[in-house]
């Protein structure tokens, strides 16, 4: 048999096999790698058929819901990794992304922020090793080696960024008046502390987050209380305060930050010895899906979180109904719920232990009797903060800037809120769409 005939037969068999798999095998509905629901078969209408929209939607569904999608993606990642296609010497390929992430070792007062001028934040000067790095998809910076890979999203914001955010926070204070304390907590992300020095020094695109944070704090009204979590976190960079495989910080970092907020607010704060430590093993978070880098999947970590030993708190949840585009279409009646949710070892959803999601209003009535009622205005970084304050405030309310169709001023008045804290990561502070959402909440 001639070589060309053998070649045609082999590739013909491969083509037929692929066609059979794609046409007859069950199609994927959810991607764990990309952490999203895959497209469903489109609904039919004569109008969509005539316009060509129906054919486009069918084609999109067919390519998006391929059988064994995750397995094929992971195989592709591994092949690229083994062929050396992921490793880069040019860190300038990193791009800017705007986000829409043992008790005995920690002193009881470690989470407390030093009192004083919260706007005078010093640059982080800790020692971080110059580890091996490469860039993955979407410009994700991969630092270190398996099994301790750390994946970082680059920050490219301007030192003058966040001015609109500061103005918005000031508007809240003006609307709420002197009877409501307003706090501003801008949370740095992992790259601020864990970017290798040689990469940062050699890159024109990786910017420091501190100038943006200081710009926001410098433009706040005198009666808005800035909370310096940057300095607090910088003192604990050798502890697991950020997740390696997820874009969020770790619950330990949120605990330290909550202590800083409690100190500025002048309320008591419980040490970690007052919590039960829980662990979800073999966690690989969002950075695997973002980077599509096999080394991230090969570097699972422990997701450690803390549940108050005092379980006298009561959680009430108002859940919002969303359409496929995550727009609010309805509201469920407020009902008794749970703050902490359980996930098995290996679950990529471990960060959702806090409240189980974002599209809701959560109200927690604690056992504290001090008349202080806090509402936390947050993105997903803020999910890990509230439970650290159950021993600090009589009530803790949680509101996500993406899912709040009500008027926030009315909500504050109706619930006799005494304290309102913005808990947002620095990417949200430079997001004009986030600022718009917050402003809309003042006029809904």
C-alpha–C-alpha distance, residues 119 and 67, integer Å: 53
Report the DSSP pairing between strands 395-400 and 373-378: parallel
Is 193 a member of any domain? yes
pLDDT for the residue numbered 354: 98
Average pLDDT rounded to a whole number, residues 368-375:
97
Is 355 a member of any domain? yes
Contact 387, 433 (CB under 8 A): no
pLDDT for the residue numbered 85: 44
Is 3 a member of any domain? no
Residue pLDDT, tens place only, 121-147: 988 888 788 899 999 988 899 999 999
Average pLDDT rounded to a whole number, residues 395-412:
97
**Average pLDDT over the chain, rounded to an integer:** 85
For residues 43 and 161, state if they share a domain.
no
For residues 197 and 54, state if they share a domain.
no
pLDDT for the residue numbered 125: 81
Is 212 a member of any domain? yes
Give the percent of the chain with pLDDT over 70: 73
pLDDT for the residue numbered 226: 98
pLDDT for the residue numbered 324: 85
**Number of domain units in the chain:** 2
Where is the domain boundary, 11, 43, 67?
67
Is 336 a member of any domain? yes
Can you give the residue range of the structural domain that contains 49?
22-67
For residues 187 and 309, state if they share a domain.
yes
For residues 53 and 185, state if they share a domain.
no
pLDDT for the residue numbered 129: 83
Average pLDDT rounded to a whole number, residues 275-292:
96
Residue pLDDT, tens place only, 320-332: 999 988 899 999 9
For residues 275 and 325, state if they share a domain.
yes
For residues 416 and 288, state if they share a domain.
yes
For residues 321 and 270, state if they share a domain.
yes
Q: What is the pTM of this model?
A: 0.79
pLDDT for the residue numbered 45: 73
Is 57 a member of any domain? yes
For residues 173 and 280, state if they share a domain.
yes
Is 4 a member of any domain? no
Residue pLDDT, tens place only, 233-255: 999 999 999 999 999 999 999 99
Does 214 have pLDDT greater than 80?
A: yes
Is 180 a member of any domain? yes
Residue pLDDT, tens place only, 344-360: 999 999 999 999 999 99
For residues 52 and 138, state if they share a domain.
no
pLDDT for the residue numbered 237: 96
Does 403 have pLDDT greater than 70?
A: yes
């Amino acid at each position: 048999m001639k070589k060309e005939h053998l070649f045609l037969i082999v590739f013909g068999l491969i083509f037929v096999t692929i066609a059979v798999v794609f046409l007859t095998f069950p199609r994927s509905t959810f991607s764990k790698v990309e952490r999203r629901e895959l497209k469903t078969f489109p609904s039919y209408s004569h109008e969509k058929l005539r316009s060509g929209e129906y054919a486009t939607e069918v084609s999109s569904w067919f390519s998006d819901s391929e059988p064994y999608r995750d397995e094929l993606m992971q195989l592709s990642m591994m092949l690229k990794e083994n062929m050396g296609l992921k490793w880069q010497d040019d860190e300038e390929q990193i791009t800017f992304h705007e986000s829409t992430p043992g008790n005995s070792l920690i002193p009881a007062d470690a989470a407390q922020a030093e009192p004083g001028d919260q706007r005078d934040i010093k640059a982080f000067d800790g020692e971080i090793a110059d580890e091996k790095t490469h860039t993955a998809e979407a410009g994700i910076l991969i630092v270190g080696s398996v099994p301790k890979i750390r994946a970082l999203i680059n920050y490219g914001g301007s030192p003058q960024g966040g001015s609109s955010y500061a103005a918005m926070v000031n508007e809240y204070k003006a609307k709420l008046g002197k009877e409501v304390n307003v706090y501003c907590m801008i949370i740095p992300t992992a790259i601020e502390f864990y970017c290798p020095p040689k990469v940062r020094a050699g890159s024109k695109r990786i910017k420091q987050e501190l100038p943006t944070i200081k710009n926001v704090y410098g433009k706040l009204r005198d009666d808005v209380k800035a909370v310096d979590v940057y300095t607090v976190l910088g003192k604990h960079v050798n502890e697991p305060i950020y997740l390696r495989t997820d874009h969020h910080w770790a619950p330990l970092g949120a605990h330290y930050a909550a202590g800083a907020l409690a100190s500025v607010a002048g309320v008591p704060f419980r040490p970690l010895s007052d919590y039960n430590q829980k662990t979800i093993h073999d966690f690989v978070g969002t950075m695997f899906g973002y980077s599509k880098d096999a080394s991230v999947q090969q570097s699972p970590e422990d997701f450690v979180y803390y549940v108050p030993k005092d379980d006298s708190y009561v959680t009430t949840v108002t859940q919002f109904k969303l359409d496929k585009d995550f727009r609010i279409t309805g509201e469920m009646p407020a009902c008794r719920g749970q703050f902490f949710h359980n996930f098995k070892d290996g679950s990529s959803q471990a960060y959702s232990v806090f409240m189980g999601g974002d599209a809701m209003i959560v109200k927690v009535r604690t056992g504290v009797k001090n008349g202080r009622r806090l509402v936390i205005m947050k993105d997903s970084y803020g999910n890990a903060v509230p439970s650290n304050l159950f021993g600090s405030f009589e009530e803790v309310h949680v509101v996500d800037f993406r899912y709040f169709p009500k008027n926030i001023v009315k909500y504050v008045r109706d619930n006799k809120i005494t304290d309102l804290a913005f808990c947002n990561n620095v990417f949200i502070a430079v997001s004009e769409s986030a600022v718009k959402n917050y402003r809309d909440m003042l006029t809904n």
